[in-house]
Amino acid sequence: MIHITSVSNPRLAQAFIDYMATQGIHLTMRPTNEPPLVELWLEDASQRSQVERELRDFARDPLNKRYQAASWQTGKSVSPFNYRNNLNLSTLKNQSGPLTITITLLCILVWLWMAIAGVPDVMKWLAWPAHSDQYLALWRWLSPALLHFSLTHLLFNLALWWYLGSQVEQKIGTGKLFEITIVSAIFSSWAQSLFSGSNFGGLSGVVYALIGYVWLTSEMSPKLDTSVSRGLIAVSVIWLFVGYFNLFSFNIANAAHVSGLIIGLLMGLWDNLRKPKKQ
């Protein structure tokens, strides 16, 4: 058996296998330890040059109709390879970390508390310190990040938190995510309190810090394999302008967003500039 290539999309890999079967060439697909990545193996070494030639054509146009037609022609309605369903709790847990999951659950629990008890009652306990008597209630310096005032607000922030926070926790470490979360939650909440007192909440200051940190890390330390899509960066910047110019009359914590982004960029710059010195 000869290893031909590795493919990140099992369904496309199966289409190529089916197409090669119509050419009289038998390929085998094997799962790897890094799903959804799969390997293609060839039984007959004498056919290697033909397979590699066809593979180059396939790589240029994997969605060509001839590959789909081959799957129908082989009569295989079900692939022998067990495809993973990535949209399930088990996969989300494996691709996250304890801190990512803990913050997610805390935000959900606080939102449910607000839905049951009412926003004023919860804000009385978790809002940013409104006066000096509350300064020693240390949880108040962090708890505003857990407050969300609508289901949309909650789901949007948690989706970005999971996407960005899980990258940091899995590829850099839980300690680093904890550090970014604590620093950005305090710094962004303090900045927002200068403009709106204690009447604010949300994880978006931390999310913006993660956007800045993960993006800068992907540029300066590509080996860590962190990434932020350009579309997300564009939407994040547009949202800042929407907030500052009040285009849709939304109550947006602009100061928290900007300060979170700044602290994330500064922490990312500090961490990535120190690494060469350590090495």
Catalytic sites, residue numbers: 204, 257
H or E element at residue 238: helix 230-245
Helix (H, G, I), strand (E, B) or coil at 167: helix
Question: Could you tell me the two tokens for 270?
Answer: 């500090």
The end-to-end CA distance of the chain, in Å, is 41
Please, what's the largest Cα pairwise distance for the chain? 81
Bridge partners (DSSP) listed for residue 41: 3, 28
Helical pair 204-220 and 174-196, crossing angle rounded to 10 deg:
130
Helical pair 174-196 and 151-171, crossing angle rounded to 10 deg:
140
**What is the DSSP-derived secondary structure letter of residue 76?**
-
For residues 170 and 95, is the Cβ–Cβ distance under 8 A?
Answer: yes
